[in-house]
Amino acid sequence: MNPGLQAARHLLASALLLGLVSAALAKPPNIILILTDDQGWNNTEVPMIPSRADTRSDYYLTPNFKRLADSGMTFSQAYAPHPVCSPSRHSIQFGMTPAKLKKTSNRAVNYPEPFPVRSIPQVLKSIDPAYRAAHFGKWHMHRHPAELGYDASDGRTGNHTARQLTTDQTKHFPHDDPKRSVSLTDNAVQFIRHQAHAGAPFYLQVSHYAIHLSAEAKPATLAKHKARTPGKVHSAYWYAAMIDDLDYAVGRILDVLDELKLADNTYVFLTSDNGGTARQYPHFNKPLRAGKGTYYEGGLRVPFIAAGPGIKAGTYSAVPVVGYDFLATFADLAGSPEKLPDGIEGGTIKPVLLGNGEGVVRRPRAGLHFYRPLDSVLIRDGHKFRRTHRTGEIELYDLSRDLSETANLATAAPRLAKRMQGALEEWIKEIDATTPSPLDRRVRRRP
């Protein structure tokens, strides 16, 4: 064969291959967010900090959480936007802090947005109208999912939808569909199959009812964990059973992506709406302090795992991230970070995801901000500042050295405490956080 002709053919073949790769990369990615309920930072078998064995459970089995982590990236310092569920869910959906949305308590969920805001599906559809979106599981927001751009959903669901037989977590209840983990995953799997058949990119949010409130699990799972030797930190077999059933549901999502060969163009994120409850189990979140409902690490720090194209398998990141970063991140992954709504407070973590865990998340204000009428918090540059509004008490912790928040440095480092307090107060003033929603006022006026 003529050497020139042979070279030309090789060049053509390379060009065609490059074109195919470029076309594949140009296809909008699928994005899945799996949101668990009240799952503590150390409630998986994945160590949240690789060098610390006490940042994983010594009893709970989560092979599919580990499977996701092994194929992607685990974030050691990830936070929920709020220590209770409804404010976190609003914040995730709109990319703003609960304080800016005037959603700082569960009771304020019936107050309409005081200004126009766009949700994750609406932003993705503005980037590419081909996107289809679905939400299955716990919604806990007052506006119907369809109003926020979801094409399929379970509707306006809440805790009541998944039985929640008791608030006593020391009791357990066997079910074939515990916390509806089976049926809501059935819906999610069906949605994925439909979009794969249609060739449409999709956003899917699977919001589990587990692990909130009553312990519900399949009879066989309860029996399995009752026969196991409990751990020193985690020991409730019914809790282990519920997490096991949750983990199995996560595995079904990963399985269908593999089956349909969608994994190479799908990002999967897994996190919790807030930290684990510590009322019945004082050491439940150890080594973190306190739990759900508090602004200490046990109430805010949550598991956060991401996998997908370009994310190096088995990696870790110590870059701080928060739930209100999702909207900006998903828009960036979809290809148009510039089409973000005005006023969002989150930043894209795409540079960190594709940078082997290194990089910077750029937000309008440096650090992570939290506010509610009781107290406020700023986390920045490895330190955490907390102020109790009623008493004026301030706390300052070096999270890099004091994960358990045992040594208050406010007196020892007054200049740093003053700077962080000033930055926190500037943000509170800027977003008018102290002005409550009308519903909050109405509640306060009741006798």
- pLDDT tens string 384-412: 999 999 999 999 999 999 999 999 999 99
Q: If we measure between CA atoms, which residue out of 345, 423, 355 comes closest to residue 384?
A: 423
The pLDDT score that the predictor gives to residue 290 is 94
Mean pLDDT of 296-310: 98
Average pLDDT over residues 154-176: 79
pLDDT > 70 fraction of the chain, expressed in percent and rounded: 87
pTM higher than the cut 0.85: yes
The tokens for 297 are 């690490």
pLDDT tens digits for 85-115?
999 999 999 999 999 998 898 875 445 555 5
Tens-digit pLDDT profile for residues 247-274: 999 999 999 999 999 999 999 999 999 9
3-state SS track over 366-426 = CCEEEECCCEEEEEECCEEEEEECCCCCEEEEECCCCCCCCCCCCCCCHHHHHHHHHHHHH
As to burial, measured by CB atoms within 10 angstroms (0-12 exposed, 13-18 middle, 19+ buried), residue 343 is: middle
Q: How far apart are CA 168 and CA 163, in angstroms?
A: 13
Number of H helices, E strands in the chain: 13, 16
Res. 13: pLDDT tops 60:
no
Distance CA 311, CA 263 (A): 12
SS3 call for 44? coil
Mean pLDDT of 185-191: 98
Tell me the one-letter amino acid at 39. Answer: Q
pLDDT class of 445 with cuts at 50, 70, 90: very low
Give dist(CA 371, CA 425) in Å, integer: 10
Q: 22: pLDDT confidence band, cut at 50, 70 and 90?
A: very low
What distance in Å separates the CA atoms of residue 299 and residue 44, rounded to the nearest whole number? 16
CA atoms of 35 and 12, how far apart (whole Å): 46
As a whole number of angstroms, the distance between CA 320 and CA 137 comes to: 27
Mean pLDDT within 327-347: 91
Q: Kindly report, residue by residue over 227-246, the tens digit of the pLDDT.
A: 999 999 999 999 999 999 99
Spatial distance between the Cα atoms of 340 and 123, rounded to a whole number of angstroms: 7
Window from 68-72, 131-135, 166-170, 302-306 with minimum mean pLDDT: 166-170
Where does residue 344 rank: exposed (0-12), middle (13-18), buried (19+ CB within 10 A)?
buried
Residue-range domains of the chain with CATH: 28-353 (3.40.720.10), 368-445 (3.30.1120.10)
Question: Which pair of structure tokens corresponds to residue 165?
Answer: 């037989």
d(CA 278, CA 293): 9
Which residues touch 130 (CB under 8 Å, ≥6 apart)?
Answer: 28, 200, 201
307 phi and psi angles, rounded to 5 deg: -140, 150
Quote the pLDDT of residue 18.
37
Q: How confident is the model at residue 212 (pLDDT cuts 50, 70, 90)?
A: confident
pLDDT bucket at 338, cuts 50 / 70 / 90: confident
- Provide the mean pLDDT of the chain: 89
3-state secondary structure 71-99: HCEEECCEECCCCCHHHHHHHHHHCCCHH
Q: Higher-confidence residue: 147 or 442?
A: 147
